[in-house]
């Protein structure tokens, strides 16, 4: 970014690709804070692609690296950046994800509901209701269950801390060591099996990288104790669908709550739709809150222009 002019009289061209309702809110927030920004909506307002230095989007245009030869930074409008293939981006292009506190709060709300439904056997009772069966079971207390969070980044750390405050035992796994109050931390491939074997309810909040793709497969899911459950709010590509279904069918796993899928929308013929132990939501666990995200985006673009630290900057070699 050393060659980026940040003088007040310079002009920096930004291209936004996404819903126009969002642009109507974000554009004035960015222009009010960053007077040198020339905002252009893709594709009809883009006058000269060679002028573009900033790209704000969830999904980039096709062949965007060739289309925008002077691109310097990409701001993802969400938490994920796997769609940009970070490890394949040129060294000079910075990649930034959205780290909005409201997104984190939304994720905690979603997971609290899902974990409590599993913890109090509500999904099982819903199945019994369909059969008009009255079969009460004695519930466990929170301290008798272990919630496991795999992926302890911006979202995962907060989720782990939250469930500890609710009285659950909480274990976490990450690539590198982490220290979190009231959370037993595991790290690295050598400790993955021990982590999985300790968990009653597994929450996946991993970033999607070549190392984490297909990480939740028959082998690793079989390490979970019999009767364990899984909640996937990371990416659909973390989970091998047929392996999960096999472990649900042989009753090694009790339930799966899935918010993300390999292909979205989920095809109508996919067996997840009709499986009695699979519970689906349409990628809604943590949605961007437009108002707060507008201010965060404006602050981040301003920081980038001023060559100061940017919130959510990605280490492209790791992919997160």
Return the active site residues.
235, 283
With 80 as the cut, is the pLDDT of residue 214 above it? yes
Residue 311 · residue 300 · CB < 8 Å? yes
3-state secondary structure 160-206: HHHHHHCCCEEEEEECCCCCECCEEEEECHHHHHHHHHCCCEEEECC
Mean pLDDT within 1-30:
81
Q: Which tokens in the block code for residue 295?
A: 């201010």
Q: Are residues 114 and 91 in the same domain?
A: no
Quick check: is 182 in a domain? yes
In tens, the pLDDT along 258-315 reads 999 999 999 999 999 999 999 999 999 999 999 999 999 999 999 999 999 999 999 9
Q: How many CB atoms lie within 10 A of CB 83?
A: 14
Burial of 290 (0-12, 13-18, 19+ CB in 10 A): middle
Q: How many CB atoms lie within 10 A of CB 104?
A: 18
Quick check: is 24 in a domain? yes
Q: How confident is the model at residue 136 (pLDDT cuts 50, 70, 90)?
A: very high
pLDDT of residue 9: 54
Tally the residues of the chain: 320
Non-local CB neighbours of 38 within 8 Å, separated by 6+ positions: 11, 12, 13, 14
Q: Are residues 121 and 248 in the same domain?
A: yes
Mean pLDDT within 94-111:
96
Quick check: is 144 in a domain? yes
Q: Are residues 129 and 196 in the same domain?
A: yes
Tell me: cis bond preceding 27? Omega within 30 of 0 counts: no
Quick check: is 317 in a domain? no
Q: Are residues 122 and 251 in the same domain?
A: yes
Q: Are residues 32 and 156 in the same domain?
A: no
Q: What DSSP assignment string belongs to 205-257?
A: -----TTTTT-BSHHHHHTSPTTEEEEE-S-GGGB-HHHHHHHHHTTSEEEEE
Quick check: is 77 in a domain? yes
In tens, the pLDDT along 62-81 reads 999 999 999 999 999 999 99
Q: Are residues 274 and 298 in the same domain?
A: no
pLDDT of residue 8: 45
* Alpha-carbon span 226 to 197, nearest angstrom: 10
Q: Are residues 19 and 134 in the same domain?
A: no
Quick check: is 187 in a domain? yes
Q: Are residues 197 and 223 in the same domain?
A: yes
Q: Are residues 50 and 143 in the same domain?
A: no
Quick check: is 25 in a domain? yes
* Alpha-carbon span 40 to 55, nearest angstrom: 10
The percent of residues above 70 in pLDDT, for the chain, comes to 97
Quick check: is 314 in a domain? no
Residue 116's domain comprises 102-280
With 50 as the cut, is the pLDDT of residue 3 above it? no
With 60 as the cut, is the pLDDT of residue 7 above it? no
Q: How many CB atoms lie within 10 A of CB 160?
A: 28
Closest CA relative to residue 78, chosen from 65, 60, 90, 53: 60
pLDDT of residue 10: 86
The residue whose two tokens read 């009709």 is 274
Q: Are residues 64 and 121 in the same domain?
A: no
CATH number at residue 54: 3.40.50.720
Q: Are residues 136 and 260 in the same domain?
A: yes
Split into its structural domains, the chain has a count of 2
Q: Are residues 152 and 74 in the same domain?
A: no
With 60 as the cut, is the pLDDT of residue 83 above it? yes
Mean pLDDT of the chain, nearest integer: 95
Q: How confident is the model at residue 4 (pLDDT cuts 50, 70, 90)?
A: very low
C-alpha distance from residue 290 to each of 23, 29, 111, 276, 302 (Å): 10, 11, 21, 35, 18
Q: How many CB atoms lie within 10 A of CB 156?
A: 25
pLDDT of residue 269: 98
The percent of residues above 90 in pLDDT, for the chain, comes to 96
């Amino acid at each position: 970014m050393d060659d980026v002019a940040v003088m007040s009289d310079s002009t920096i061209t930004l291209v936004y690709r996404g819903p126009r309702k969002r642009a109507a809110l974000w554009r004035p927030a960015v222009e009010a804070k960053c007077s040198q920004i020339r905002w252009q909506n893709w594709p009809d307002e883009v006058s000269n692609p060679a002028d573009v230095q900033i790209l704000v989007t969830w999904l980039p245009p096709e062949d965007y690296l060739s289309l925008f030869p002077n691109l310097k930074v990409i701001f993802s409008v969400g938490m994920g950046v796997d769609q940009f293939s970070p490890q394949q981006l040129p060294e000079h292009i910075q990649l930034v994800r959205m780290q909005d506190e409201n997104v984190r709060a939304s994720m905690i709300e979603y997971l609290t509901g899902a974990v409590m439904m599993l913890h109090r056997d509500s999904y099982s009772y819903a199945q019994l209701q369909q059969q008009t069966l009255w079969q009460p079971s004695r519930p466990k207390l929170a301290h008798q269950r272990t919630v496991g969070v795999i992926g302890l980044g911006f979202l995962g750390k907060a989720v782990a801390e939250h469930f500890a405050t609710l009285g659950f035992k909480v274990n976490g796994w990450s690539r590198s060591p982490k220290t979190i109050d009231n959370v037993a931390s595991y790290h690295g491939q050598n400790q993955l099996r021990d982590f999985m074997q300790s968990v009653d309810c597994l929450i996946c909040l991993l970033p999607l990288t070549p190392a984490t793709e297909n990480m939740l497969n028959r082998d690793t899911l079989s390490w979970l104790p019999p009767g364990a459950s899984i909640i996937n709010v990371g990416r659909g590509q973390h989970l091998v669908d047929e392996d999960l279904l096999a472990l649900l069918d042989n009753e090694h796993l009790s339930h799966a709550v899935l918010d993300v899928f390999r292909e979205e929308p989920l095809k109508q013929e996919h067996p997840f739709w009709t499986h009695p132990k699979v519970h689906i939501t349409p990628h809604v666990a943590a949605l961007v809150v437009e108002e707060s995200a507008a201010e965060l985006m404006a602050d981040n673009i301003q920081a980038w222009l001023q060559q100061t630290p940017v919130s959510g900057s990605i280490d492209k070699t790791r992919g997160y």
